Amino acid sequence: MTAAAKKSRSRSAAGRPDSAVITFLVSEDNGGDYSWTILGSDGESLAQSKRYATHDDAAHAARVVREGAGSS
């Protein structure tokens, strides 16, 4: 299992920047496939990927999503 956290900045209703921690968790299911899950700061699952054949493929896909999360 691999987890990586990224701080994401957003603006509150008052216009002040807020920081949120987003955790990407790569895990293996019972069938031997891998997927990533985005966890919010409270541990709630926010999104889950499709299944990948290898841990490296799932981790790479999670990195691509994580790196794109801060861009707009």
Q: What is the DSSP letter of 53?
A: S
**Record: fold of 2-67:** Double Stranded RNA Binding Domain (3.30.160)
Q: What are residue 64's phi and psi, to 5 degrees?
A: -60, -45
For 22, other C-beta atoms within 10 Å of its C-beta total: 19
- pLDDT tier at 2, thresholds 50, 70, 90: low
Where helices occur in the chain by DSSP H, the ranges are 55-69
Lowest mean pLDDT among 3-7, 45-49, 66-70: 3-7
pTM of the complete model: 0.68
Extents of the domains making up the chain: 2-67
User: ∠45-33-50 over CA atoms, to 5°?
Assistant: 50
Report pLDDT digits (tens) over 8-58: 443 434 444 556 778 999 999 999 999 999 999 889 999 999 999 999 999
